[in-house]
Structure 1
Amino acid sequence: MPRVAIVGSGLGGLVTAHALTNDHNDYEVHVYEKHRASYGMDASSFWVDLEAIDGSDTDSDQGRQPSRRVRVDVPVRGFFRDYYPSLVKLYEHLDITLVPASHTISLSILSDNDPQKQPSLDTYFSHSSIQLPWLNMPFPYPRHRIGKWTTSAAICVGEWVRLGVHARWWLRQQTRNNSDTSNDSSNKTTTMASKRTETLQMFLDRHHYHPLFINTFLAPVLASICTCSLEATLQMPSSIALDFLARGIMTQQAWKVGGEKGVGLVCDKLGQHVSRWRRGVGVVSVWKHKQTDQWMVRDSEGKEEAFDIVVFATQANQAYHILRNQPSNAQPIPDGLLDTLRSFTYAPTSVLTHRQPNGFMPTDKRDWGSINVVIRENDHLVSAKKAQDSFGEPGQPMATCWMNEMMSVLAKGADLFQTVNPIIPPPSPPTTPSKSKPSRFTVPSTSPVSFARITLTPDTPRLLNQLDRYQGGTRHSQGLYFVGSYVYPGVPLLEGCVVSGVRAAGMVLQDKQKATSRKVVEWLEPDVTGWKQGHIMEWYLQGRGRQATSSRFSLFSLLFDILDYLLSLLPDEIVILAIRLWQTLFLVLYWLWAIFHVACSIIYRRP
């Protein structure tokens, strides 16, 4: 029976283990996880004790509800069905309950980051959304009042609508381009290469998007999702960014895993058939033995075991350090593989769970959204070099999730927040709440949890294609696989973990059993195994484009097709003038909307 070692129990490693053990009993799967009491995916989550959630606040034992607990995921894992089709299929396969998650956004500037003073936030954008069927995307409208930021908000919303429709139109065009070049491989390769080299900043500049929208709205929102700097966000490949915008935050209802255990239940179901768990044990070296031609795994306890297959479900830089640590009896690891793994870049990320709104949430509670993004006063210029604050990474926004809004079971409790990349010092440990406002749950005192997230660069597509050529393949890396969010040509999120994990398992089955990998992925998207090895970017753009053609009809997409043809006949000066007219028109309409909204609030205000 072939022995498989999986290094890491994040979602990528768990999906690989599940795909190899759920319907196939031919593999002895061992999972190494450095965390002693949990899975890698769920290691930072914690339990919250709910108290009298049904309102039975009484001192008598009779009538008091039994103690209940709910697990809070760290970090928060929301998703959009269109951008996460494989993740949704996985959850359906596991019979996981999915619940809607609130998805409103506020944007603020931290105007004073002096540790000796109270942090002051100036909120310049806050919205709720209405779903317009003919627009096929949520339309943001202003909250409550008119202020100095109304004009800026109008520009941002106008450009947001234009980019949302533009991104979906781009995806449709991508499908047409792929079909036109399907019979000409050289032309196709050239087309793909040119799209990969264009950054998001280049795309936005080429289409004359307003700098205010780019610097104070789009870049902070995307940077908070990708947990990277504003500058790095604008340098990601435009094809990856537009695909995400067309399928995610601009068009979809957000969802999350329901139930009391959160993603812990997902981990339990994925890992239930694993042959052996090695919890609390890290891996320090992996090499291929010269005599036995087997992979040797040396763990942090000094033990060595032989395996036929090794799957790295770790970060690329971690895999690099493990593989480069080779003993004298090891076969050489290809230099090209090590160089590729070393070339992926990561950014530090920290997550803080707390109950302090000051400095993390908008000053006015009416501006609170489920996601609240804060940038420094000089970061809105998208210049990391100018950010000289003493806390947090320069040029990196802070995003605070209001957990009471994200998790309905916490709605009646005291406010709970989860802040990604705090740019102000962490709050003091929570004190006991006053008796006048009893807490509905208790929160453990937590310190920031550190992660590292992959940074997308213009070179990322080339690295992905290069790494894909080594998957299980070459002489000295036969039986070696890599999975995770970075082994996927999209925004590095949960979808990449699922797709890469299933594909690695499919390649294992195909190599060892001469079976088609399609047997592994009957519960997944049919195109997961459809790419040619070493051409992962081409598969991504083609497959994603085909899915776009089956989406709901959008009147604006049709109008965009017509406008694009008409504007292509005009000189650039006329095109820029047309865009400015659109921005001006939307500015006027937005101001009228805001005035009407405020007037209604005043007229119908209750005493």
Structure 2
Amino acid sequence: MPGNLVQINSPSTHLKNEPVRTKPFVPENAHGVHDKHTSKGSHDNHSKSTAIPQPNHTSHIKTQSQTSTTSTHKLRIAVVGSGLAGLTAAHLLSSLHLDEGHGDQGIEVELFEKAHKLGMDAASLSVTCPCQRCALAAGRGNGDPNHEHVEGRMDVPMRSFFPEYYPNLVRLYRSIGVKFHDADNTLACFDVTFDPQSSLESPSAESRLKSNVNIEAPYLSSRSYKVSSDHTITLPDLPPLSILNPYPFGRRLLGYYRIARDYVKMLAASKEFMTQGRMMEIGKDPSEWGDGRQVSLREFLVKGGYSHDFSAFFVPLFACVCTCSFERMMEYPACVVLEYVARCMPFGRMQFVSSGVREVTENLSRNISTIHYNTMVEKIIEVEPTTTTDGKQSGSIILIDSFGVRRTFDHVIFATQANQAAATLAGQRASKPLPKPFVTSHENDYDDSNYGCMEEHDLTDPVTPKDVSADSIAADHPFHNQIQVLSKFPYERTQVVCHTDTSFLPKDPAAWRLLNIAKSTAADILASPFDDVSAELEQQQQKQEQEEESSSIGFSFRNDKNLVNRKQNSASSSSSSSRQQSGSSTPTSTASQSHNSAMATHIMNNTASSLGSTTKFLQTTNPIFQPKPESVISSAWFERAVVNPESMKAVDELSDQMDEQATRILDGSAKISDRVWFVGSYAYPGIPLLEGCVVSAVQVMERIMGAEPAYQLATSVSASEGSFLKRDAPMRERRQTRMEDQKRAKAMAQMGDKDEYDVESPSASSAYFKTAWKDTLADEQIWEEQEHARQATIGSDIKSQKKGRSSAVGSRSSNVYVEVAWMLLLYMAAISQWWMVFMLESVGIDGSRWALA
């Protein structure tokens, strides 16, 4: 969300060896640059020196580039965007040193953020305490004498993760000293019905605000049962058994049986294919395994014979995980979703950062010397290349920001969304920026002018905007290839509302859970733009329209999916087309403001004890109706990357492009486009989540290190053993070994018998699905060994205790039969508790004390 920008038409130089950054939250000048190590007076002097007019822009830029490589011996890298991907990339690059880690810092990193604070935490907020003491201190007269004092903070959006799927994120958090804790995986699924008088044909936020909303009782709920010091198992709840009316109990029990049966079937299939390294083949007919087609989640559920009871639980749950509409969820390749199932279930525990993501942003940004807030990157152009002494071409990049300031860099890393990066490379602004967050109360360090009004969110136009596509860019454009790939990544708009309206929860407070998932009774959970019946109907309708218009142009659903999806979008107002006329993915659609999406409401008090218990602070994602205006604390919009077969292939194309870039830079034949890199959740196989942000940043760092061997970049020899780069060393060696083995196999195949060697290079996706889960287990074992070695310096008693516990863990994990027996024992203990709670609640006794609700 850009702030009030001031146009400045002069280039900018930077003081050498003087770390500068923006003062958090309150920019001190038009450029948003602040020296964190100096007083305000010295900062003012520096501010003036950062915009010195130069009579000759080109000569100045050349001199600056030569100075950075010959005098300071440092690379200059710009990172655009300060989400987790941008912060991780900037943090790791700022941790690299020259001369194999023996010299000074090897890279000057400048981070650019369009908002007034770091993007990962930009929408988060501190909750205003409603107690009487705080109200009087703030000059308010509406204090509640019965409300306990709270000092909580809400992460927006909520950042939860499963360590089994996020091993690199966990390693990063550990390395920067961020603590996290687990939460009980409690869940409630229920339906929402709307007054028949409300218009389903035009489900705008305004109409749903006025409609009569009825929250039905949960059709599925679960609670957790603690069965050991480090194991908690989640089991479903059963309604009390009534002899007079046994139908509700029997119907619920039958539904749970079907869910359990299909869940075990899916779990067994997903784990089998994962351990065999054939995850990308799951759900396919044997005759189709070699054609590269990925079976969609909808095809997998329908052809696999999964029951409606299971789908009504599974699809909304994963639509919340992926933050998308049901249409987009059904487009997901089945292997992407089932790999998450295989790695996280059945014993995964949801984790939360204990102190909130503000600590993450502060710790990651601590070593970044320069951060520019309220600054958008508008254009990138190339400096005239120079020839080095060895005959290679050495070029730099000019980055032009929203103030008109020009800065020169050796590399630029885009840590923005793919569609935003494409627009910047094309020299265009985003076609339809998201409205600024609406916040009812601000922190002291907030700039109120940076926040929008509530109406911007309630009345936001859900129509899909037209973004940059490869067809709109000339073939000779320097970034044509990058834009062509980036335009294949689709996005959906998501609204996140923080509020206190408990009507978003089941009517019975006993049924409230950590995660409360609702869907409209009018929703079609298996809705898909590729549905055969819908396709046939659309073909007939199109044929009729063509005959009426006496048009000779034929119609093919498979060749013009954009037209089909536009009509579906017009009917449901819930999803965009999956294809544009050019064949590339439409970048953005709107999951919010749609009856055909899952609405997830988190009770934030359950994961943040500082919020107290008097008032339930709620966070709702993709609201299918709007909360009471007086209950709204904040409202923000986001765009979330989603996955379809085309975007899955685009991940491989983007990875190959960046590998080729590194090779050309190393060979001295690089172009301007070869010095631009991309990181983010979308740029990594699997579901676009925080894990992809971290890994894509690490991979780009490694590519830059390999492309610039003259700098001898490496982790500082004085870095602590707990630093991320030190912890990541085994993983990095494993990746390098695989690449070397592949190159060696290719070379041997060229020299000898091609049939003797496997010369086919695995794509990024196929390599991920074959090795990621194995790497997670190997890295966790290495982590435990390193922890044992570290504990040896603390004391023999602690070492003995740790060793004893880890040995037990190791014995279970080293023998699959022992592990299975142990897990069955834990389940038996959980079921005994579950049965006891059911019996107590059937006779009217509260059994929640034995269940962690």
TM-score (norm. length: structure 1) = 0.79
Alignment partners' CA distance in 2, 1:593 and 1:459: 47
Aligned CA-pair RMSD: 3.8
Alignment partners' CA distance in 2, 1:421 and 1:504: 33
Alignment partners' CA distance in 2, 1:400 and 1:193: 41
Please say if 1:512 is aligned against 2:708: yes
Matches within 5 A, 1:22-61: 22-24=95-97, 25-36=105-116, 38-49=117-128
**3-state SS, counterpart of residue 426 of structure 1:** coil
Shift in alpha-carbon separation, 1:5–1:606, aligned structure 2, 3 A: closer
Matches within 5 A, 1:151-300: 151-174=254-277, 194=292, 197-214=294-311, 216-248=312-344, 250-259=346-355, 262-291=356-385, 293-300=395-402
Alignment partners' CA distance in 1, 2:681 and 2:279: 28
Alignment partners' CA distance in 2, 1:96 and 1:549: 22
Answer whether contact 1:89 1:525 (CA < 8 A) is retained: no
Please say if 1:480 is aligned against 2:681: no
**Stretch of structure 1 that moved more, 493-502 or 371-380:** 371-380
Answer whether contact 1:404 1:413 (CA < 8 A) is retained: no
- Deviations, residues 61-91 of structure 1 (Å, cap 9, x unaligned): xxxxx98733211111111111000011111
Partner of 1:108: 190
Shift in alpha-carbon separation, 1:4–1:594, aligned structure 2, 3 A: closer
Partner of 1:339: 484
2:268 maps to amino acid: V
Matches within 5 A, 1:518-529: 521-524=725-728, 526-527=730-731
**Stretch of structure 1 that moved more, 478-487 or 151-160:** 151-160
**3-state SS, counterpart of residue 363 of structure 1:** coil
Matches within 5 A, 1:418-457: 418-430=619-631, 446-457=633-644
Count of aligned pairs between the two proteins: 535
1:470 maps to amino acid: Q
1:298 maps to amino acid: I
- Deviations, residues 353-393 of structure 1 (Å, cap 9, x unaligned): 000011x1112112211111111112144337575799713
**Stretch of structure 1 that moved more, 23-32 or 519-528:** 519-528
Alignment partners' CA distance in 2, 1:227 and 1:363: 25
Shift in alpha-carbon separation, 1:141–1:211, aligned structure 2, 3 A: closer
Structure 1: gaps spanning 5 or more residues:
58-65, 179-189, 431-444, 560-589
Answer whether contact 1:48 1:69 (CA < 8 A) is retained: yes
Structure 2: gaps spanning 5 or more residues:
1-73, 98-104, 137-147, 199-207, 242-247, 282-287, 387-394, 429-474, 529-567, 575-590, 665-669, 717-723, 740-760, 779-811, 822-830, 848-853
Please say if 1:93 is aligned against 2:195: no
Pick aligned residue for 2:222 from 111, 127, 143: 127
TM-score (norm. length: structure 2) = 0.57
Residue 47 of structure 1 deviates from its aligned partner by: 1.1
- Deviations, residues 170-218 of structure 1 (Å, cap 9, x unaligned): 211227999xxxxxxxxxxx96864x6122233334433223312x111
Pick aligned residue for 1:396 from 567, 584, 597: 597
Matches within 5 A, 1:448-597: 448-471=635-658, 472-473=661-662, 475-476=670-671, 477-513=673-709, 515=712, 521-524=725-728, 526-527=730-731, 530=735, 535-547=763-775, 552=813
Residue 527 of structure 1 deviates from its aligned partner by: 3.7
Alignment partners' CA distance in 2, 1:225 and 1:208: 23
Shift in alpha-carbon separation, 1:606–1:369, aligned structure 2, 3 A: closer
Residue 597 of structure 1 deviates from its aligned partner by: 5.6
Shift in alpha-carbon separation, 1:341–1:175, aligned structure 2, 3 A: closer
**3-state SS, counterpart of residue 311 of structure 1:** strand
Alignment partners' CA distance in 1, 2:729 and 2:681: 17
Answer whether contact 2:280 2:766 (CA < 8 A) is retained: no
Alignment partners' CA distance in 2, 1:126 and 1:556: 31
Alignment partners' CA distance in 2, 1:176 and 1:316: 26
Answer whether contact 2:189 2:221 (CA < 8 A) is retained: yes
Alignment partners' CA distance in 2, 1:176 and 1:450: 34
Answer whether contact 2:425 2:479 (CA < 8 A) is retained: no
- Deviations, residues 291-328 of structure 1 (Å, cap 9, x unaligned): 563211111111111111000000000010100129xx
Pick aligned residue for 1:600 from 835, 840, 850: 840
Higher relative contact order (CA 8 A, sep 6+): 1
Partner of 1:369: 513
Answer whether contact 2:150 2:611 (CA < 8 A) is retained: no
Alignment partners' CA distance in 2, 1:351 and 1:210: 31
- Deviations, residues 256-288 of structure 1 (Å, cap 9, x unaligned): 1112xx111111111112121110111111232
Answer whether contact 2:95 2:715 (CA < 8 A) is retained: no
Q: Which protein shows a greater Rg?
A: 2
Alignment partners' CA distance in 2, 1:232 and 1:536: 23
Answer whether contact 1:49 1:67 (CA < 8 A) is retained: no
Shift in alpha-carbon separation, 1:23–1:291, aligned structure 2, 3 A: closer
**3-state SS, counterpart of residue 500 of structure 1:** helix
Alignment partners' CA distance in 1, 2:506 and 2:398: 53
Which structure carries more strand by proportion?
1
Alignment partners' CA distance in 2, 1:92 and 1:593: 34
1:370 maps to amino acid: L
Answer whether contact 2:273 2:279 (CA < 8 A) is retained: no
- Deviations, residues 94-114 of structure 1 (Å, cap 9, x unaligned): 111111123211111111254
Alignment partners' CA distance in 2, 1:300 and 1:394: 39
Residue 487 of structure 1 deviates from its aligned partner by: 0.8
**Stretch of structure 1 that moved more, 377-386 or 121-130:** 377-386
Alignment partners' CA distance in 1, 2:350 and 2:177: 19
